[in-house]
Amino acid sequence: MLLTEIDILSQCHSPFIVGFMEWFVHPVSIEMWIVQEYCGSGSLACLLDGGLQEDCIRAICSSLVLALEYVHVARQVCHRDVRCSRVLLTNDGHVRLTGFALAAKLPSNQAVLSESQVVGSPYWMAPEVVRESRYGPRSDVWSLGITVIEMAESAPPHSSLNPLRAMFVIPTKPPPTLADPDHWSPELLDFVRCCCQKDPSYRQDSALLTSHPFVKQQVVALQHLHAGEEVSSGANYSRLVAPRNPGLLPVRRLLEERQAKLDTMKSQRREEYAKALEIDTARIQREEEFTRALQLDATKSPQEQEFMHDLESNPHQSFSKYAAVSYDEDEFDAPRPVSVDERASQEVRRARSGSLEEAVRNLEKDFATSTACTDIED
């Protein structure tokens, strides 16, 4: 298939076909590489979020009609895989048809292929392809009509079905149409009708479609737009840098809207990333503070740790419990809190060894202090 694509692309010299430069075999991986024109805006299938506007469909469809006319008439080739994922867009709004891996050349002076093979993507296949009848370039016209529906509705007909089931439905059901005909112009509806005729003999070919009212004006505009361009192929890199006019306005507008959405998404992602960094910074600061607190707690005595724990859990009760604080004369370490009962025991011991009146005064003083603290708490 790759050799077929190289053979066909190397002979295509059209501004509506993706440019082929050269091919080579990679010296390390021993793989065959193709150098093609760079289309920075990517595949059309990536821009179908919610469907396209009719003016944009008309502009893209005009380029595809001209591309198929060139392939069918000038190159005698049947593409056999026309769909939105085979359409590329450049950054300046030009439309390029690509994906010739499944293409086949027509025999000399014949309108159909010599072999009837079921080739292509199921949802876009023409009925004669599914039935394995003799078919030719008009099968691409059916695929073009399905592609128009795909551009309008973001998905081809029967896309909810299994591909094999869809292949059974295509030749047995009536031709597909747009789900909401009132939303589209009569020209667009008629264009889809002309493309999606189940009998190939009643289906218009690509050359006749260029004069259809839906695309005629845009086709003329594209022909004037590319009238002065010399398109060549085969290692001609001058096409990449040659000055050219921008594409049609509806396509450029579509790309500008897409770029605006991407810029908005990028700014939102930057804001979310900045907020995440702030949250992580605050979390790290809290972890550092907690680590320092643990280090400070490790240096405290057991009595101080108990006092701090009670003070954090219930400050009023701890204040009443430790209303009288003194230094234990038997220890020379850091001061520790002493309860009222322990203070009373100390004063009793002091009274036995010293002045009874001083001990009584100290007890009265401690009792008055604890009573005042209890009243404050209540």
Catalytic residue numbers read 81
Give the up-direction half-sphere exposure of residue 253: CA atoms within 13 A in the CB hemisphere.
11
User: Which residues, other chains included, contact 7 with Cβ-Cβ below 8 Å and sequence gap of 6+?
Assistant: none
The Cβ of residue 32 has, within 10 Å, a number of other Cβ atoms equal to 12
Chain-centroid distance of CA 297 in Å reads 50
Residue 94 is encoded by which pair of tokens? Answer: 């030009």
| 376 vs 283: CA distance, rounded Å | 39
The Cβ of residue 356 has, within 10 Å, a number of other Cβ atoms equal to 10
| 272 vs 280: CA distance, rounded Å | 12
Handedness of CA 79, 44, 70, 204 (dihedral sign): positive
Residue 366 is encoded by which pair of tokens? Answer: 């401690």
- With beta carbons less than 8 A apart as the criterion, state whether 94 and 222 touch: no
For residue 97, list its beta bridge partners: 17, 87
Residue 250 is encoded by which pair of tokens? Answer: 């509806």
DSSP string, 4-16: HHHHHHTT---TT
User: Which residues, other chains included, contact 17 with Cβ-Cβ below 8 Å and sequence gap of 6+?
Assistant: 9, 67, 70, 71, 96, 97, 98
